[in-house]
Amino acid sequence: MNFLAHPLLPGNMLKSMLPGTPDQSAALPGGEALASVLDPFGFGRAAVSYWRDSVERSVLYLDVMRERGNQYLEHMEQTKPNVLGFDTEVLVDGRTLPHPTNYELLRVLPPSHIEIDPDKRPFVVVDPRAGHGPGIGGFKPDSELGVALRAGHPCYFIGFLPFPEPGQTVEDVVEAEIAFLRHVIALHPKTAEKPMVVGNCQAGWQIMMAAALEPDVFGPILIAGAPLSYWAGEHGKAPMRYTGGMTGGSWITALTSDIGNGLFDGAWLVQNFERLNPANTYWKKQYHLYDNIDTESERYLEFERWWGGHVVLGGNEIQYIVDNLFVGNRLSTAQLVTRDGRRIDLRNVRSPVVVFCSRGDDITPPPQALGWIRDLYEGEEDIIANEQTIVYCQHDTTGHLGIFVSGSVSRKEHTEFTANMDYIDVMPPGLYETTVSHASERDDAELLERDYLLEFTARNFEELDRDVMHKPEDDRRFATVARISEINLGFYRLYVQPWIQATMTPEAARWIRRMHPIRLGYKLLSDRNPLTVPLPVMADMVRRHRQEVGQDNMFKAIETMRSDQIVASLNALRDLRDSTTERMFMDIYGQPLLQAAVGLHGDAHVHRRRPGAEPEHRRFIENRQNELRNKIAQGGSHEAVMRSVIYVLGGATATDERNFKRLRASRSELEPTSTLSEFKRLVRDQFFILKLDRDRALSCLPELLKGQSDQEIDGHIEHLEHVLAASGELSEHVAERFAQIKALFDQARPPKAAQPAESTPVTASSAEAAASNVASKPKSRTASRRKPPRKR
């Protein structure tokens, strides 16, 4: 980098080069003319301008590094460091729970210009504890918390302290999060809906574990960039999944914890993340600051306050995580059992789950974020049988941190998720993919209430497999890694661990943490280094006399090209390293002899066998089906209308939030005293009834409407038209279904007083035939935009 080529210059010499100093050549008579004669093409003047600018940028860059070091030391000396951009108050300290943890529940205090509705659904953000400190979920005004606050939701944050409690385990943390959610529910007794919970990265699988153990305390769950299926991945991408195999398993984790005297330094995890993209770590990020030193310093320091806020994990915590999740992949196959004998089965989660991932994420790529669905369920019918609603959304380009840090992502995806959580909460069971489109991209922009629209499309496992890219032969390789990891860990604990634990002291462990290369990088460029004493004085002088060189300077252009070449070279080395690592992994762990040595060769399912269904769960499904069969002919107009909406929209390729908003408005009109949970139960019951026996469910519609007057039936049809028109003009298939429904509603009309003969009853099949005739007639575009239903 250019600043390395320039030594620190004395103040008087630096001052003489600053643009504020009079230019002697320009002051002399004819100086400019003489300069033109001596330097006709301007190369010399461009070189001097560039040299001066590069020296100034070097001084300012080093001063920002000094401020970064001071900021790091100040941050690490705090008792409860975090980078939240909002004021908070502690509600529950995890250290006071029966099983103490270093987690705590915070209430987020809204800014003065934002008004909160305490009766709205509470919003809880859980931050990842993967080497960095807490606060990334509320880092900026345009963040997950910022979006929820602007929507009027009461917001809470689950963070953590830098050091774990003695003996703290992953199960203790999960139980603490459950206790925090119970406390949030108790704070909002008038709110019928359970809290919406957002789990970022590592916190995502923690939240899913908690929801599997205590599903009743969770509302909709959003897991952003959370890896739940660690063996999944696409060849040529996701190099982190090979790390366990290339180190021989989790014994290296135990060694690192023993060197820390039972504590695992999170800086090692941060170092793993940084090695994924050496071009960005060692050059691009730093050069971007150097190149834009006049505008980027504040943003850079703000991010570094979080990135450099390293925390410590308990040795038994990280060992549990690596053995059971990263190497063993036991969470997504329901193989984890708590200390009190409860099996952690993600199929027990009753809340809708929204999976947000990105194709540009090299830490949690889509296969690792979505593979757990394929690990647990046989197909989309299995998801429906478990009454589960799973929605996934894939961003095209953003990186891992951008999923929960980027302001553009928060303003788009997170805003739509927050605004439509009630809709997601009542969606029928199944697998859906959601997309967010901008109003400018749509022909029906006049029908949209906001700048973006959230659309949902039902998916099957064949479509899901295009993103998961499951390969059984890779499963056998990773299962081999898991077996070898157990063997190596056993040898380490038998022969090496006793010696290290006997010689390591708390003082030595603290010294090793302080000497970590990443930590030293912050400390060496701080005010504690006497060599940095001149920097603030020189930087202040530069700022007072600063003159930037233009982009048209040929030497600045050469610098930019050279930077691009360095980035390309580092990326090429990274790609070579990753491809070599992948090839070595595949070759070593794909050997039949090695697989046979650990007892896996020839096993068709190896370690990834689906958990299967328990007998009591099968009996529950059978009893539930019998219960629904008895409900097919029970109910009234509410059940008939909801059954009709679900049937008609079931013929659409996609649905969106507008239909739900019309339904929600009509719910308050038809059933003013009903709650969202009751509405959700109505939707799900009618969905399952249609799924169980569609023909009988439709033929019973006239029976459900029995006793209704012509005016009431007309009102129901107008209501259906109003709901369906929310998404614009009906497709041909949807129009046919709607015509079938209207024919069935007409059958329920009371007989005319002067009717000469008894009319022929309309069955579901005859209604479908009539619907075909109706649908074959030309449709009017205005027919889908009728006025709202009358107040009844």
Among candidate residues 481, 421, 40, 17, the one with its CA nearest the CA of residue 251? 481
Number of domains in the chain: 3
Q: Which of 331, 455, 396 is nearest to 726 (CA)?
A: 455
The answer to the question of residue 312 being in a domain is no
Query: What backbone phi and psi angles, to 5 degrees, belong to 158?
Result: -105, 110
Residue 98 and residue 50 in one domain? no
At 628 the pLDDT is 78
pLDDT of residue 24: 42
Backbone angles phi, psi at 651, to 5 degrees: -90, -5
Q: Using CB atoms within 10 A of its CB, is residue 246 exposed (0-12), middle (13-18) or buried (19+)?
A: middle
- Is 558 in the same domain as 463? no
Summarize the confidence of residues 682-697 as an average pLDDT.
85
- The residue among 470, 488, 503 that closes a domain is 470
Looking at the predicted structure, is the pLDDT value of residue 691 above 70? yes
139-143, 273-277, 658-662, 765-769: which has the minimum mean pLDDT? 765-769
Burial class (CB in 10 A: 0-12, 13-18, 19+), 774: middle
Same-domain check for residues 687 and 776: yes
**Average pLDDT across the chain, whole number:** 83
In the sheet with 221-224, reading across from the earlier edge strand, the strands are 87-93, 103-109, 155-160, 123-126, 196-200, 221-224, 353-358, 389-395, 430-438, 452-458, 655-656
Q: Are residues 360 and 222 in the same domain?
A: yes
Instruction: Look at residues 631, 734, 768, 749 and name the one whose alpha carbon lies nearest to residue 690.
Output: 631
- Classify each residue of 542-552 as buried b or exposed e, where b means 16 or more C-beta atoms within 10 Å of its C-beta: beeebeebeee
CA distance 775 to 675: 36
For residues 687-700, average pLDDT: 87
Domain ends where: 443, 470, 497? 470
- Which domain range does residue 52 map to? 2-73+516-567
DSSP annotation of 433 reads: E
| pLDDT per residue as tens digits for the range 712-747 | 888 888 888 887 777 667 778 888 888 988 898 888
DSSP 620-666: HHHHHHHHHHHHTT---HHHHHHHHHHHHHTTSS-EEHHHHHHHHHH
Cα four-point dihedral sign 713, 714, 716, 721: positive
Distances 101 to 98, 169, 209, 293, 314 between C-alpha atoms, Å = 9, 8, 17, 41, 11
pLDDT single digits (tens) 469-496: 888 888 889 999 999 999 999 999 999 9
CB 315 within 8 A of CB 262: yes
Q: Are 516 and 278 in contact (CB under 8 A)?
A: no
Arithmetic mean of pLDDT, 455-471: 88
Residue 344 and residue 213 share a domain? yes
53 belongs to a structural domain? yes
Do 357 and 225 contact (CB within 8 A), yes or no?
yes
Confidence of residue 415 (pLDDT cuts 50, 70, 90): confident
Q: How far apart are CA 659 and CA 668, in angstroms?
A: 15
| Same domain (yes/no): 539, 685 | no
Q: Which of 438, 470, 502 is the last residue of a domain?
A: 470
pLDDT of residue 413: 81
pLDDT of residue 779: 42
Q: Quick one: 533 and 634 in the same domain?
A: no
**Of 26 and 334, the one with more pLDDT:** 334
Per-residue pLDDT band at 705 (split at 50, 70, 90): confident
Domain-embedded: residue 95? yes
pLDDT at 550: 84
Residue 256, in any domain of the structure: no
In a domain, 265, yes or no: no
**428 found inside a domain:** yes
Q: What is the pLDDT of residues 624-672, one digit of tens each?
A: 777 778 888 888 888 888 888 888 877 666 676 666 666 666 555 555 5
d(CA 329, CA 607): 9
Would the pLDDT of 36 be above 50?
yes
Note whether 522 and 557 are same-domain residues: yes
Please name the residues in contact with 652: beta carbons below 8 A apart, sequence gap of 6 or more.
727, 731, 733, 734
Mean pLDDT over residues 17-30, rounded? 46
Q: Which residues contact 62 (CB under 8 A, 6 or more apart)?
A: 3, 525, 532, 535, 539
Burial label for 166, CB within 10 Å (0-12, 13-18, 19+), is exposed
Query: Is residue 59 domain-shared with residue 113, that is, in the same domain?
Result: no
CA distance 58 to 217: 54
Residues in the chain: 792
Residue 613 inside a domain? The answer is: no
Q: Is the dihedral of CA 489, 494, 500, 506 positive or negative?
A: positive
- List the one residue out of 157, 133, 137, 159 whose CA is nearest residue 78: 133
In this predicted structure, the answer to whether residue 499 has a pLDDT above a threshold of 80 is yes
> Comparing C-alpha atoms, which of 320, 358, 319 is closest to residue 338?
320
Q: What percent of the chain has pLDDT over 90?
A: 44
Predicted TM-score (pTM) of the model is 0.84
Where are the extended beta strands (E) located within 146-206?
155-160, 196-200
CA dihedral of residues 80, 83, 87, 91 (deg, nearest 10): -40
Most confidently modeled of 100-104, 189-193, 692-696?
100-104
**Cα(418)–Cα(420) distance, integer angstroms:** 5
CA-based R_g, the chain, Å: 32
How many whole angstroms separate alpha carbon 201 and alpha carbon 364? 8
**285 domain residue, yes or no:** no
Q: Are residues 637 and 744 in the same domain?
A: yes
Cβ pair 600, 476 in contact under 8 A:
yes
Shared domain check, 699 and 663: yes
> Which CATH number goes with the domain that contains 354?
3.40.50.1820
Are 419 and 558 in the same domain? no
